[in-house]
Amino acid sequence: MRRIPWWRLGAMLALLAGLGLGLVYSWIISPARVTDSEPLALRTDFKDHYRSAIAAAYAATGNLPRAEARLSLLADADPIEALNAQAQRMLASGQSFEQADQVAALASALGEGITVEFTSTPVTETTNSIVSTSTLLPDPSEIPPEITETAQPVETQATISASTPRPTQTAVPTLGAPFALTGQETVCDRNLPDGLLQVIVFDSRRRQLAGAKIIITWDGGEEEFFTGLKPELGNGYADFIMDPNTAYTVQLGAGSDIASGLTTSTCQTSDGETFFGGTKLTFQQP
Amino acid sequence: MKSSRWIFISLALLAGIGLGLAYGWVMDPVDFFDLTPDTLRADYKSDYVLMVAEAYHVERDPDLAARQLAIFGTQTPSTIASSGLAYARANGFSDSDIALMQELVTAMQAWSRIQ
């Protein structure tokens, strides 16, 4: 059998050793500097910033397809859930209610496929004579975008009709329409406090509504409380502990159906233990 | 022992190092996560500036816009906005988007002066 010369064997080992050294250096000691990353690689808190910016832009323009395109860059498994969770985190950490609401509103719009209606007020300029319309949905990887542009001579001034219309947001009715009692159910959950009355309020777009005043009355008493004080349970959530020997009546301060005769119910666990159950009411604006 | 053989072994070592570096830096670089926004590709940065501009156009809150732009790190908000605008102009953003970004740049420049 012919032996391999030692120096050839040494050369092969040197090549492998060099390869290993090169990989250690390029992967661990001095990896390539990142300069062209994508939003999906951002740290979690920066992803939250990114979502907030998307939501703020959506609140300003009402352009849902554009917001969806931007959200897709973050590659969330469930963008709606990610937005809702972020809105809750923002409220729980004391961030601006308006910003959290924008994030929640975008989640709601995505869930319903709603595009907020806007009316645009054309911008008038004296120096430009182009009427430009664009179908840009800014997927940055596809820049430059498709633009349809038509030159139009104008005598003394011109009108620019933008692809992203300057919005005058159509007001969504929040007052006037009474809330309907859409759900009333007995809750027997040993993990909840005895006699817990839960109230959840939705607006007309099925978004949980924070700050809704709830009036609860009983024989000889009345109390008011508001939704949204426990954001970890939902913007439209509020609760109250009922006394076992009292019947309560609940309605919303803004006007709603009346839920009356609310009492605790007797529940039983699988091992025979009894406890006071609660009630869950759901109100929604038609 | 011939010195040419040691030279051959040394060259093999250098070739291995070169191949390792090429593979680790170019062919299969490390996948990074938990990055900061300053590492974003220019088009993503520009689109972020556009988002801030769209919101600023309605909210008219330069402090909020500056805070949103500050996530890009050490540059001033007006510099960040200007960079985004330059990219937008060079890459065929619509006139309306460019107008919004221009408005933001102007606002950030004014905001910087009063800080």
Q: Where are the domains of chain A?
A: 39-142, 180-284
Of the listed ranges A42-56, A104-118, A132-146, B52-66, the one predicted with least confidence: A132-146
ipTM above threshold 0.85 = no
Beta-carbon separation of A7 and B8 below 8 A: yes
pLDDT (tens digit per residue) in A153-210: 433 333 333 444 334 343 343 444 688 999 898 888 888 888 999 999 888 777 777 7
A22 touches B at CB < 8 Å: yes
- Please give, rounded to a whole number of angstroms, the shortest distance from the CA of B106 to a CA of chain A: 18
What is the pLDDT averaged over residues A131-155? 41
Euclidean distance between CA atoms B107 and B115, whole angstroms:
12
**Residues of B whose CB is below 8 A from A147:** 92, 94
CA distance A217 to A240: 12
d(CA B57, nearest CA chain A) in Å: 8
Q: What whole-number distance in Å separates Cα of residue A84 and Cα of residue A211?
A: 18
State the average pLDDT for chain A. Answer: 77
Please give the structure tokens belonging to residue A111. Answer: 């869930």
Sort out which chain B residues have CB atoms less than 8 A from A27's CB and list them.
Answer: 24, 30
Identify which of B48, B58, B92 has the shortest CB distance to residue A167: B58
Domain covering A180-284 assigned CATH 2.60.40.10 in the classification:
yes
> Residues B68, B73, B79, B80: is their CA dihedral positive or negative?
negative
pLDDT tens by residue, A118-136: 433 333 333 333 333 333 4
CB A174 within 8 A of CB A284: no
The confidence band for B66, taking pLDDT boundaries of 50, 70 and 90, is very high
Cβ proximity of A280 and A200 under 8 Å: yes
**Is residue A75 less than 8 Å (CB to CB) from chain B?**
no
Chain A residues closer than 8 Å to B99 by CB? 123, 160, 162
pLDDT at A45: 92
The tens digit of pLDDT for each residue in A225-238 reads: 878 777 667 778 88
Q: Indicate the residue type of B29.
A: P
Amino acid A157: pLDDT: 38
Tokens of A226: 């508001």
Q: Which two tokens stand for residue B53?
A: 């501009």
Confidence of residue A4 (pLDDT cuts 50, 70, 90): confident
User: What are the pLDDT digits (tens) for A245-262?
Assistant: 899 999 988 788 899 899
**C-beta contacts of B79-82 below 8 A and 24+ residues apart:** B80/B45, B80/B49, B80/B108, B81/B49, B81/B52, B81/B53, B81/B105, B81/B108
